[in-house]
Amino acid sequence: MLQNLIELDRELFVYLNGLGSENWDDFFVYITKQLNWWPYFLLLIFLLLKKITPKQFLLLILVLAVFFLFTDQMTNLIKNTVQRFRPVNDPDLKDMIRIVKGSNSWSFFSGHASNSSGSTLILFLILRKYYKYAFLMFLFPLLFAYTRIYLGLHFPGDILAGYAFGLMSGFGFYKLFCYLNTKYKLTDKQNKNAFI
């Protein structure tokens, strides 16, 4: 059963990776770097500061920092335990796929997927009350994680596992944010219980 899933994962990767084109390579190399999303992050900061207090914003920054530290460390622990080759380093696939970017680290599971999906969930759960189209934020982790398949750095299963871990972790850290927000009474009177 597990071997069948692994084979299906590899076949799906070969198909999705093969959809790429040299005309788009530079674009996907650019958007796979977190820092290149700075206009999007500035927009989120602007939207947050319009709706939450400065103290809540500082708490959110702290919670997100701990979230990223947690997911990065767990991702590295699991990668070093499972030791799955990245597609670009898989000897059985190297001649069948488009290799746009290389990496020597392990593949399972995707830190990009876990970080982007979990942080997006935290922000979505905070902003959903204020913005009707807040769900569009989930386009970010979808596109961001797809770059990893496009570039040959992750299998789809790595992405899905990263999403699952990120969403579970993100929900837990959102609950931590709500708890600390209530405990330290950071919510103003107009927005009482805004995030719960």
Q: Name the strand (E) or helix (H) holding 153.
A: none
User: Has residue 161 got a pLDDT over 90?
Assistant: yes
| Structure-model confidence comparison of residues 193 and 146, the more confident one | 146
- Average pLDDT rounded to a whole number, residues 188-194: 52
pLDDT at 193: 47
Give the tens place of pLDDT for each residue, 85-125.
Answer: 999 888 888 788 888 888 888 989 999 999 999 999 999 99
Residue 182: what residue type?
Answer: T
Residue 44 clears pLDDT 60, i.e. is over it: yes
Neighbours of 23 (CB within 10 A): 7
**Predicted pLDDT of residue 188:** 56
pLDDT at residue 179 greater than cutoff 90: yes
More confident residue, 185 or 170: 170
CA distance 90 to 64: 34
Q: Residue 31 contacts by C-beta under 8 Å, 6 or more apart in sequence?
A: 37, 143, 144, 147
What's residue 30's pLDDT? 93
Task: Give φ, ψ of 194 to 5 degrees.
Answer: -60, -30
Q: What is the pLDDT of residue 84?
A: 92
Rounded CA gap, 68 and 118, in Å? 9
Distance CA 179, CA 196 (A): 9
- What angle do helix axes 156-183 and 54-82 make, rounded to 10 degrees? 150
Residues contacting 150, CB < 8 A, separation 6+:
16, 17, 20, 24, 28, 100
Asked if the model's pLDDT at residue 75 lies above 80, the reply is yes
- 26-30, 98-102, 144-148, 159-163: which range is least confident on average? 98-102
pTM of the model: 0.89
